[in-house]
Each structure stands twice: as structure tokens, then as C-alpha cells.
């Protein structure tokens, strides 16, 4: 780990640095999903995971970072935009689920949503 | 007119009409039963009319056939067997209506053999059948509605209620008439045998008409089984004839019999076997000693049945067959026939004296008269025997119908309950008196006039006289004196019957009070039959037409001569015409007359004038009376020698079944069950069920353990997702490193 960080700090900012940020964001999102008992917190964790992935996509598709010929054009940005749209839709669905859950259970604690327990 | 075409057509129609009526009545009677209810009053009435009309039409056709025959074959013009030594067949017409099958030489066909005997029998059978049908309208009228049978108790002790069976009665009567005519018209012995059995089964149906009464079903069974014994002998006779002659057709048998054995005829021992065999069948059917026991029991049937089946026609079929097959019988066989006839007539006559059931008296009288016919045929009196058959048919059916009328009026068969009935029912009484006079052969020998029985019985006695003259040995003399004694006994028991029923004071006031004369449908046949019972033996005025001359025309070839026995060389069967000689006719006639008058006088002294007390006679001859009262112990004898051993044997075999076969079968069953149980527990339960259960249990447990994973906690699922993804990533990396990149 030492040598990896050393390399990163000594190099100019490139794709790897973006990927590290994306990975950190992704991990934060996962941890947030795995630890939060509040449904809204879980929703935020989901957003973090999606945005971590978005950073990777943008970095990979960036002509500034990869050079004109090393990329596939605007593909990375396009996919990121797609993810953003999906995230919005998904957030709406999740919010609706949460609202319904609250109506039935009187709380947004996801530990109570265990009806599918085996 | 072509007789070969017309006679079979007319008689065939007369024969088949009752069959058509049987079909109509049985189908018409069965249709309502299919729909679940009983034949209506109206349809049952129609059944009776249909059956009677068919019979009447048969009679008219038979009369027409008779007229046609007579115009073509004038009586007395031909004497076919008239020249001793020549064997011309009598005029006859034979052929096949329908060929059934041919097995090698054996040709089975529905055929006809028509001579005057056939035509005469047709007229007699259809006339009596018609009378009995009409009589049954009145006698069986109770069967039109629901019947209460007081002689049958149901399980709860009440009398049996059942629907009426009027149409069923006429259905059986029609079938019987058809079968009887079939026996008469048959052109070959195979067909005779078929219809022989058909009349037997009809008799069975009719005796068992009151099927709910145990006595009726027992009597029906007895009649049927006893007849089988005789038919066994008859089959032997038929097979003997067929195997040696190769044919059963009458018109082929008779010419072959006339030939000597070397030229295709039968050898003498075979002829004896065939003759005795055929006669065995006749013993059974005509209730001759020793197979006579079924006929008295057969009186369980309705009285019209007794009149038609068990006196006039069916039981006479045996006599008819002996007459028809006469050329088959050699002198020794004829002697057997005569001896059996003599024993029968004496035995039955003695039993009839003590019987108190009015129908049983008549039944034994029938047996006795059939014995006369057999005796006559056996002694060579072919015409005399068959003449007596015809006359007996009329007066005996008359007597039975009269007794039916009495029973109808007083509702009992017991003579001891009757008496004095002539005031209540004069028509029945005086027609029955005519019948009694006819059966005892009343007449005046000097003037040669009398009732029908007078002529026929005289003819028999003349033949017996002639026989005794030709065979001086004293043993043969018995064959003359037994029938003479029988004539006396006949007069005695017949007038005992009449006096006990109609004369004197009523012995049962209650029954007497309820007695009444029978309706017209019963009286009219009585009057008609009484007229015929008087006149059937007479010669038609200003002509030669009489039953004897008709029969004379059918006389079989070869009987017109005196023959000697081959084995018993002393045995002579005399020519029947010799018996008409005045030196035989006069003493025989007077002997019969005095015997009959003696019997009549005895009966009158005992039962009318009461000079002799019947009770005292019974006391002083107690052993004889009990011997006769128990009908010579024949039933007990057969019971002990045949029925009981058969039952013992059956029980023995049943016990083998029960103690040997059953345990064996049960043992095998037990062993099989044990083996099956073993296989069941070992193979099925342990091996197959066990493995399946283990598999199921394992699946169940796996499911239970996997179930723990489904905790329902979202956060845990997220961790599983991460861990899974990481795991997949690690596997993919390692795979890449070691397997692909190398």
C-alpha cells in the first residue's frame, strides 16, 4: 500500500487518481448502505455508490486524461449521464417504497423490514 | 290338388300359428315389464284371445287338411298293408321344410311325415287345445288382477301377494301347442327328439306355474328329472338307429327295416336295443312303470294344464311315438312294451281307488289308461292302441276340465270335502258323468253302441283275447286278465270319484254353500268335449269315416301279419284283423262289459247305496290300504334307493371340497399372504421407502439450513453482495493469472 500511494503522490494527476477517488466514494457508499438503519441513509449510500462509478466512467472517457486517441469519444460522459438519469428514477422509486413502508410499519427502520426472512 | 304341396303347407301353418301367438304374447307381455309395470288387465285379456284364436285357426287348418286328405284318399279304398307278406308303406307325404345341417351322413332337418295318423293327431290336439284355451279364460280369470296366494306364506307370515300371470299362462300354452304339434308332424327322429324335449320344458313351466309354492317347483323338477332318465334310453335308441342305418328320417328308416340284415337292414340284437331304447323315452314321457311317479305330482299345475298336457296330449306323445316307430319294434320288444303297459295299468288303477285328491285320482287313471294303450300296442293292436289314445284324449280332458270346474267352485282338491255338488253345478256333474261312462267303456255289446271308450277299450280287450288265444302259455294269459281286472277297477275308481264329488250329502256345508256353477267359457268346452267323448268312437253316418278307419289307413307296413319272436319262438304277435272275428269279439266284449258293470256296481253299492261301508273295508284291509294309499311306496323306494344315495354322494363330495380342497386353497392363500407381507416389509418399506425418505429428509434439512441465510436484514444482504462480488473478482483474477495469462 505504501508503494502504491507513493507512486500516486509522485505522479501527475491521471486516471488512477480519479479511480482512487471513485473507489473511496464507492466504499463509502457500501459502508453507508451496510450500516445505516434509516432507509434514507441507505438511499444516500446508493447515491454514493452510483456516483463513485460515475467518476470512474468519466475518468476513463476523458480526452484530457487519456489523450485524444486513447478514448472512445464522449462515451464515458454519456454513460455517466445515463447513470444520473437512472439514479434519479431509482431515487424516486426508493422514496416511494420508503413512504409506503412508513405508512405500513410506522417507521423507516429497515431492520423492521424483514418479512422475507426465511 | 297337389297333396305334396298343400298338406305340408296347411299343417305347417297350423303348426306355426301357436308359435306366432307365443311370440306375440311373450313380447307383448314383456314390453310393460321393461318399462317397470305389469301387463294391464286389457292386454292380458287380449293375450288370452290371441292364443286361443291361433289355436282355433290351427284347428280349422287341420280340419281342412283332413278334408283334403279324405277327398284324395277315400277310406277303405286302399289297404296298403292288406296283403300278407307284402310291405307297402301306407300313403304318406314326407320331405323337409328346412335343412339345418349335415355332418357327414347325418342330415338334420325340420321335416314332415304326414299320414292319416298325423292328420288325426293334428285335429285332436288342436281341438282339445282350443277347448282348454277357452276354458282357461274362465278358470284363470283370478290371474288377471293381483293374486293372493294363500298356500304361500311370506317371511312375515302373511299370504303372498303377487301380480297376476294370465298372459304368461297363455304364452306357455301356445308354446306347448306348438311343441306338441312339432312332435306329431316331425319327419325324422332327431326332430322328434327336439320337440320331445320342448314339450318337456313346457310341461316343466306349466307344472311350476305357481312358482312360489315349493310343492309346485318340486313337482316341476321331478317331472323334468324323471323324464331325463327315459330320454337317456331314447338317445341310445336314436344313436343305435343312426349308427347302423345312417339316417333318422322315417321315410328312409322304414324301408330299410324291412330288408334283411345282409342287405342293409339292422341285425336282430341291434333292433332290440333300438326298440327298447326308444321305448325308454316313451316310458318317461307317458309315465309308465317304473317312471310314472312324476305324473301324480305334476297335478300341482293349473287344472287346464293337467287336462291338456298331462292327460290328453303330452303324455300320449309316448304312445304316439311307439305307434309311429312301430316297424322298429320286434316281437320281443313288443312283449316288453305289453308287460310294462300291463304292470302300469294294474298298479295305477289300484292306487286310484284310495286316492282322495280329485286330480290325483284322474292322474292315476291317466297312467292306467296309458298303460292300456301301451299294452295294446305291445300285443299287436296298433289301431286299437292309437284309437284309445284319441278317445282317451277327449274323455280324459273332459274329466280334468270338469274336476277343474269343481275345484274352481269349492276351492279344494280333497274329495272328502265335497259331496252333493250335482245340485249346485248340474252342467259339470252331468258332463263329468258322461266322461266317467266313456272311460269305463259303457255300451251294449249286443247292439254295438256305446260311448267312445266302449269301442276303443273293446278293441284292446279283443286284441288281448286274440293274443291269449295265440299264446296258450298261462303266463301270457295274464296279459288278458290284467286289463280285464283293470276295466273293473277303472269303473270302481271313476264312479267312486263321481259319487264322492256329486252324489250324497255335502260333507262340508261351508264349501257346499259357496259352490256355484262355472261361467259359460268353462261350461261350453265341457259340453263340446262331452259330445265328442260320446261320439268320437262312432262311424260317421252313411260313410266309412271313423277314427278306426282313418288309423287303419296309416297302419305301418308289415303289421298286417302274424309274427313270431325270433328269440322267444313261442311268442306270437297276432294280426290285429284276426281279433275282429266274432268268436273273439263276442266273449271279449261281454267280459269287458261285465267287468265294467261289476266295478260300477261295487262303486254304487259302496258310495251311493252305502250297502258296503268304505270305512269298514278300509279297516279290514288295512295293510293293503296303506300300501295303496302310499302309492305302492314308489316315492319312498326311489327316495331311498336313488335320491338319498345321490344326496349322500353329493354330501360326501361336498365334504371333500370342504375338508380337503378348501384347506388346501386357504393354505396357499395364507402362504402367499405371508410371502407378500415379508416382501412388503423388507423390500418395499426398508429399501425403497427408506432411500426415498432419506433423500427427502436430506433435501429438507438442506433447505432448513439454507433458510438461515435469508435473514431478512437488508444490511446483511448488502454485505453478502459485497462479499460475493469480491469473491467473484478474486476468482476471476486468479483464473486470469494462472489459467489464461499463464
Residue B272 has pLDDT above 60, yes or no: yes
* Whether B705 contacts chain A with CB within 8 A: no
* Whether B715 contacts chain A with CB within 8 A: yes
Claim to verify: residue B410 and residue B535 sit in the same structural domain: yes
Alpha-carbon distance A118 to nearest alpha carbon in chain B (angstroms): 5
Which residues of A make CB contacts under 8 Å with B? 30, 33-37, 42, 110-111, 113-118
Which residue ranges make up each domain of chain A? 37-108
DSSP B562-601: -EE-SSSTT-EE--GGGGGSHHHHHHHHHHHHHHHHHHHH
Q: Which residue has the cell 301301451?
A: B374
How many domains in chain B? 4
**Cβ-based contacts of B709 with chain A (< 8 Å):** 118
pLDDT at B512: 84
Claim to verify: residue B280 and residue B341 sit in the same structural domain: no
Going by pLDDT thresholds of 50, 70 and 90, the confidence category of residue B582 is: confident
Q: Which residue has the cell 299264446?
A: B471
- Prediction pTM value: 0.77
- Maximum pairwise Cα distance, chain A: 56
Claim to verify: residue B600 and residue B736 sit in the same structural domain: no
Interface with chain A: mutation pick from B715, B717, B722, B729, highest number of A CBs within 10 Å: B715
**Cβ-based contacts of B718 with chain A (< 8 Å):** 30, 33-34
Claim to verify: residue B374 and residue B457 sit in the same structural domain: yes
Alpha-carbon distance A33 to nearest alpha carbon in chain B (angstroms): 7
Q: Does B123 map to a domain? A: yes
Instruction: For residue B324, give every residue at least 6 positions away whose Cβ sits within 8 Å of its Cβ, in sequence order, or none.
Output: B117, B192, B250
Claim to verify: residue B715 and residue B705 sit in the same structural domain: no
Alpha-carbon distance B718 to nearest alpha carbon in chain A (angstroms): 6
Claim to verify: residue B160 and residue B215 sit in the same structural domain: yes
* Whether B42 contacts chain A with CB within 8 A: no
Q: Does B89 map to a domain? A: no
Residue B80 has pLDDT above 70, yes or no: no
* Whether B709 contacts chain A with CB within 8 A: yes
pLDDT at A2: 57
| Residue in B713, B718, B719 nearest the CB of A111 | B713
Q: Does B613 map to a domain? A: yes
H or E stretch covering B340: helix B331-354
Interface with chain A: mutation pick from B718, B719, B723, highest number of A CBs within 10 Å: B718
Alpha-carbon distance A52 to nearest alpha carbon in chain B (angstroms): 15
ipTM for this prediction: 0.82
Claim to verify: residue B168 and residue B248 sit in the same structural domain: yes
Contact B711 A115 (CB under 8 A): no
Claim to verify: residue B702 and residue B727 sit in the same structural domain: no
Alpha-carbon distance B705 to nearest alpha carbon in chain A (angstroms): 10
CA-CA distance, B5 to B97, in Å (whole number)? Answer: 11
Claim to verify: residue B487 and residue B351 sit in the same structural domain: yes
Residue range B410-456, pLDDT digits in tens: 888 888 888 888 888 889 999 999 999 999 888 887 777 888 888 99
**Interval B46-74 mean pLDDT:** 91
Cα-Cα-Cα-Cα dihedral sign, residues B601, B604, B609, B613: positive
Claim to verify: residue B666 and residue B738 sit in the same structural domain: no
Q: Are B180 and B125 in contact (CB under 8 A)?
A: yes
Helices (H), B37-115: 41-72
Claim to verify: residue B322 and residue B422 sit in the same structural domain: no
Contact A118 B715 (CB under 8 A): no
| Residue in A34, A37, A115 nearest the CB of B719 | A34
Nearest residue of B to residue A115 by CA position?
B712
Average pLDDT over all residues of chain B:
87
Query: B428: closest CA among B352, B348, B497, B509?
Result: B497
Nearest residue of A to residue B715 by CA position?
A34
| Residue in A30, A36, A118 nearest the CB of B707 | A118
Residue B79 has pLDDT above 80, yes or no: no
Going by pLDDT thresholds of 50, 70 and 90, the confidence category of residue B698 is: very high
Contact B715 A33 (CB under 8 A): yes
Number of other CB atoms surrounding residue A44 within 10 Å: 16
* Whether B703 contacts chain A with CB within 8 A: no
Contact A110 B715 (CB under 8 A): yes
Residue range B303-351, pLDDT digits in tens: 999 999 888 889 989 999 999 888 888 888 999 999 999 999 999 999 9
Q: Are B248 and B190 in contact (CB under 8 A)?
A: yes
CA-CA distance, B531 to B633, in Å (whole number)? Answer: 38
pLDDT at B85: 40
Among candidate residues B263, B298, B329, the one where a domain is terminated: B329
| Residue in A30, A42, A118 nearest the CB of B710 | A118
Claim to verify: residue B215 and residue B286 sit in the same structural domain: yes
Among candidate residues B611, B629, B647, the one where a domain is terminated: B629
Angle at B662 between CA B661 and CA B667, to 5 degrees: 100
Among candidate residues B598, B629, B660, the one where a domain is terminated: B629
In terms of average pLDDT, the best of B149-163, B190-204, B407-421 is B190-204
Residue range B657-667, pLDDT digits in tens: 999 999 999 99
Domain holding B688, by residue range, is: 633-709
Amino acid at each position: 500500500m505504501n508503494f502504491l500511494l507513493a507512486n500516486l503522490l509522485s505522479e501527475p494527476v491521471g486516471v488512477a487518481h480519479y479511480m482512487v477517488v471513485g473507489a473511496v466514494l464507492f466504499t463509502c457508499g457500501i459502508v453507508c448502505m451496510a450500516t445505516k438503519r434509516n432507509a434514507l441513509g441507505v438511499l444516500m449510500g446508493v447515491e454514493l455508490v452510483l456516483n463513485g462509478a460515475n467518476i470512474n466512467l468519466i475518468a476513463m472517457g476523458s480526452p484530457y486524461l487519456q489523450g485524444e486517441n486513447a478514448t472512445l469519444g464522449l462515451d464515458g460522459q454519456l454513460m455517466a449521464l445515463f447513470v444520473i438519469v437512472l439514479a434519479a428514477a431509482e431515487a424516486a422509486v426508493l422514496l416511494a417504497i420508503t413512504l409506503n413502508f412508513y405508512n405500513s410499519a410506522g417507521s423507516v427502520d429497515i431492520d423492521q423490514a424483514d418479512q422475507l426472512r426465511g | 290338388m297337389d297333396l305334396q304341396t298343400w298338406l305340408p303347407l296347411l299343417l305347417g301353418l297350423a303348426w306355426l300359428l301357436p308359435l306366432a301367438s307365443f311370440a306375440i304374447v311373450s313380447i307383448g307381455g314383456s314390453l310393460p315389464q321393461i318399462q317397470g309395470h305389469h301387463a294391464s288387465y286389457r292386454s292380458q285379456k287380449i293375450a288370452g284371445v290371441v292364443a286361443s284364436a291361433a289355436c282355433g285357426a290351427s284347428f280349422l287348418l287341420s280340419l281342412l287338411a283332413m278334408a283334403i286328405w279324405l277327398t284324395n284318399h277315400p277310406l277303405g279304398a286302399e289297404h296298403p298293408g292288406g296283403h300278407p307278406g307284402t310291405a307297402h308303406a301306407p300313403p304318406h307325404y314326407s320331405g323337409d321344410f328346412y335343412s339345418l345341417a349335415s355332418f357327414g351322413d347325418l342330415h338334420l332337418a325340420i321335416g314332415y311325415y304326414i299320414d292319416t295318423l298325423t292328420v288325426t293327431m293334428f285335429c285332436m290336439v288342436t281341438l282339445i287345445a282350443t277347448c282348454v284355451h277357452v276354458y282357461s279364460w274362465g278358470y284363470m280369470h283370478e290371474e288377471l288382477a293381483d293374486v293372493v296366494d294363500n298356500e304361500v306364506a311370506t317371511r312375515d307370515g302373511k299370504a303372498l301377494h303377487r301380480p297376476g300371470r294370465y298372459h304368461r299362462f297363455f304364452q306357455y300354452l301356445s308354446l306347448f301347442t306348438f311343441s306338441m304339434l312339432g312332435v306329431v308332424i316331425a319327419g325324422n327322429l332327431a326332430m322328434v327328439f327336439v320337440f320331445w324335449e320342448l314339450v318337456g320344458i313346457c310341461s316343466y313351466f306349466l307344472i311350476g306355474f305357481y312358482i312360489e309354492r315349493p310343492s309346485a317347483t318340486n313337482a316341476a323338477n321331478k317331472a323334468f328329472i324323471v323324464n331325463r332318465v327315459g330320454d337317456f334310453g331314447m338317445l341310445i335308441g336314436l344313436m343305435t338307429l343312426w349308427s347302423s342305418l345312417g339316417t333318422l328320417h322315417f321315410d328312409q328308416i322304414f324301408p330299410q327295416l324291412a330288408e334283411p340284415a345282409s342287405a342293409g337292414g339292422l341285425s336282430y340284437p341291434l333292433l332290440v336295443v333300438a326298440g327298447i331304447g326308444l321305448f325308454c323315452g316313451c316310458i318317461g314321457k307317458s309315465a309308465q312303470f317304473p317312471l310314472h311317479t312324476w305324473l301324480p305330482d305334476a297335478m300341482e299345475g293349473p287344472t287346464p294344464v293337467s287336462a291338456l298336457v298331462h292327460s290328453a296330449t303330452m303324455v300320449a306323445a309316448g304312445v304316439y311315438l311307439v305307434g309311429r316307430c312301430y316297424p322298429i319294434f320286434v316281437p320281443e320288444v313288443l312283449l316288453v312294451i305289453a308287460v310294462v303297459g300291463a304292470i302300469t295299468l294294474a298298479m295305477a288303477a289300484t292306487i286310484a281307488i284310495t286316492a282322495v285328491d280329485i286330480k290325483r285320482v284322474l292322474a292315476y287313471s291317466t297312467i292306467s289308461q296309458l298303460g292300456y294303450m301301451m299294452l295294446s300296442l305291445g300285443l299287436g293292436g296298433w289301431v286299437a292302441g292309437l284309437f284309445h289314445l284319441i278317445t282317451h284324449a277327449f274323455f280324459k280332458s273332459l274329466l280334468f276340465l270338469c274336476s277343474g270346474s269343481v275345484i274352481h267352485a269349492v276351492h279344494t282338491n280333497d274329495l272328502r270335502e265335497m259331496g252333493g255338488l250335482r245340485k249346485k253345478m248340474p252342467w259339470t256333474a252331468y258332463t263329468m258323468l258322461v266322461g266317467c261312462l266313456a272311460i269305463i267303456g259303457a255300451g251294449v255289446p249286443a247292439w254295438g253302441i256305446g260311448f267312445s271308450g266302449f269301442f276303443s277299450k273293446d278293441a284292446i280287450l279283443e286284441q288281448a283275447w286274440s293274443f291269449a288265444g295265440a299264446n296258450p302259455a298261462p303266463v301270457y294269459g295274464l296279459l288278458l286278465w290284467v286289463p280285464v281286472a283293470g276295466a273293473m277297477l277303472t269303473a270302481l275308481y271313476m264312479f267312486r270319484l263321481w259319487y264322492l264329488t256329486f252324489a250324497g250329502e255335502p260333507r262340508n256345508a261351508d264349501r257346499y254353500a259357496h259352490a256355484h256353477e262355472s261361467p259359460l267359457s268353462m261350461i261350453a268346452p265341457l259340453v263340446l268335449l262331452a259330445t265328442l267323448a260320446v261320439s268320437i268312437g262312432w262311424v260317421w253316418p252313411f260313410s266309412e269315416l271313423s277314427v278306426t278307419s282313418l288309423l287303419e289307413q296309416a297302419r305301418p307296413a308289415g303289421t298286417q301279419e302274424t309274427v313270431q319272436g325270433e328269440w322267444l319262438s313261442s311268442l306270437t304277435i297276432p294280426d290285429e284283423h284276426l281279433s275282429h272275428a266274432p268268436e273273439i269279439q263276442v266273449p271279449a266284449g261281454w267280459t269287458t262289459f261285465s267287468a265294467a258293470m261289476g266295478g260300477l256296481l261295487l262303486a254304487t253299492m259302496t258310495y251311493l247305496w252305502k250297502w258296503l261301508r268304505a270305512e269298514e273295508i278300509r279297516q279290514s284291509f288295512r295293510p293293503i290300504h296303506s300300501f295303496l294309499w302310499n302309492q305302492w311306496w314308489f316315492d319312498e323306494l326311489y327316495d331311498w334307493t336313488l335320491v338319498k344315495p345321490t344326496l349322500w354322494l353329493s354330501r360326501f363330495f361336498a365334504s371333500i371340497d370342504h375338508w380337503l380342497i378348501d384347506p388346501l386353497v386357504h393354505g396357499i392363500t395364507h402362504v402367499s399372504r405371508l410371502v407378500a407381507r415379508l416382501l412388503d416389509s423388507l423390500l418395499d418399506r426398508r429399501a425403497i421407502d427408506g432411500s426415498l425418505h432419506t433423500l427427502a429428509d436430506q433435501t429438507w434439512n438442506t433447505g432448513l439450513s439454507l433458510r438461515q441465510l435469508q435473514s431478512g436484514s437488508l444490511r446483511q444482504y448488502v454485505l453478502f453482495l459485497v462479499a460475493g462480488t469480491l469473491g467473484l473478482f478474486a476468482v476471476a483474477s486468479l483464473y486470469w493469472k494462472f489459467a489464461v495469462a499463464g
